[in-house]
Amino acid sequence: MAEDDPSPQRRARGRPRDWDDKTAQNTIKSLDRAMEVFEHLSTTEGATLSALAEDLAQSPATVYRILVTLEGRGLVEFDAAGQQWRIGARAFVIGARYLRRTSLVERARPVLRRLMEATGETANLGVARETHVLFVSQVETHESIRAFFPPGTLSPLHASGIGKALLAQMTDDRLSRYIATAPLDRFTRRTLTDPANLRADLEATRDRGYAVDDEEKTEGMRCIAAPIFDLAEEAVAGVSVSGPVSRVKPEDMPRIADAVMRAAEDLSVAMGAERPRA
């Protein structure tokens, strides 16, 4: 019978025989080095060849060949004036394809629009990416002066509303590791760079349910943010409203915070979290 069977069972082609073998023999070292360069460059706003080579402990010649290869694919770009390499537009295109797979970005759009209309200010959606917030969606206000965080923008966790909303949900051990390793850079005179002050601010954030970026990243801009939870009740993203201090005044912040927290709750439910009881 087996000899006459024209369609013998075959191994599915989606996975090779050694699928579970992740040892060095099954990795491409040159590709791994290229991805290391690409990922490191993505954490900067631009870097010179010599700086990249030094940071990654690779030879400038090797890093240059990698960069030129990535440039050919549009994944990185070279600024001749500043002699710096930056992430290219093609990287965003590929990232956007990933975002189209996720239900959060799709479901957030109408919620962000309602939040913008309710507050009159720009509404943002962001997720944590190592020590930064990656902004993945935004609905801008119609006002001429506005906050602008286009998809793909990175902002340090400790100096952004969404970042602090997410930090406030970390376990104490995880938060301690973050504070011990992340560069708490200063951007304005209000940036929280002292670990004790940052911890106190995050405790207040947990107590009230929302975070405030009070000109901590950009002079003249305020941001109010709240965390978004998934089915496992883990904070997976954040939603915020940003605007100039002339419009986001202290007396307006409770009203704006209520709208932000309602939006975060709606998105949490959309992600499978249980709606809090009234």
CATH number, domain containing residue 120 = 3.30.450.40
Q: At 275, is the secondary structure helix, strand, or coil?
A: coil
Q: Which residues contact 267 (CB under 8 A, 6 or more apart)?
A: 104, 107, 108, 111, 228, 237, 239
Among 70-84, 98-112, 164-178, 201-215, name the one with the lowest average pLDDT. 98-112
- 192-246: per-residue pLDDT in tens? 999 999 999 999 999 999 999 999 999 999 999 999 998 888 999 999 999 999 9
C-beta of residue 88 within 8 angstroms of C-beta of residue 123: no
Asked whether the predicted pLDDT for residue 175 surpasses 90, the reply is: yes
Identify whether 143 is part of a domain.
yes
What string of DSSP letters covers 22-54? -SGGGS-HHHHHHHHHHHHHHTSS-B-HHHHHH
Q: Which residues contact 25 (CB under 8 A, 6 or more apart)?
A: none
Name the more confident of 202 and 30: 202
Q: Which residues contact 34 (CB under 8 A, 6 or more apart)?
A: 66, 69, 70
Identify whether 8 is part of a domain.
no
Tell me the two tokens of residue 43.
Answer: 């954490």
Residues 161 and 253 in one domain: yes
Residues 81 and 107 in one domain: no
Identify whether 12 is part of a domain.
no
Closest CA to 163 of 208, 217, 95, 231: 217
Residues 88 and 219 in one domain: no
Q: At 134, is the secondary structure helix, strand, or coil?
A: strand
Residues 69 and 117 in one domain: no
**71-85 burial code (b ≥16 CB/10 A, e <16):** eeeebbbbeeeeebb
Q: DSSP letter for 184, please.
A: -
Residues 59 and 180 in one domain: no
Calpha distance 41→130 (Å, rounded): 14
Which range of residues forms the domain containing residue 141?
A: 102-270
Calpha distance 271→261 (Å, rounded): 15
**226-259 burial code (b ≥16 CB/10 A, e <16):** bbbbbeeeebbbbbbbbbbeebbeeebbeebbbb
Closest CA to 264 of 209, 212, 219: 209
Q: Which residues contact 198 (CB under 8 A, 6 or more apart)?
A: 158, 167, 179, 184, 192
**What pTM, to 2 d.p., does this model score?**
0.66
Look at residues 92, 121, 137 and tell me which one is the last residue of a structural domain. Answer: 92
Number of domains in the chain: 2
Asked whether the predicted pLDDT for residue 162 surpasses 90, the reply is: yes
Tell me the two tokens of residue 95.
Answer: 């990232």
Asked whether the predicted pLDDT for residue 6 surpasses 90, the reply is: no
- Helix 29-42 to helix 60-72 angle, to the nearest 10 degrees? 80
| Helix (H) or strand (E) run with residue 243 in it | strand 235-244
Residues 150 and 262 in one domain: yes
At 277, is the pLDDT very low, low, confident or very high (cuts 50, 70, 90)? Answer: very low
- 129-147: per-residue pLDDT in tens? 889 999 999 998 877 666 7
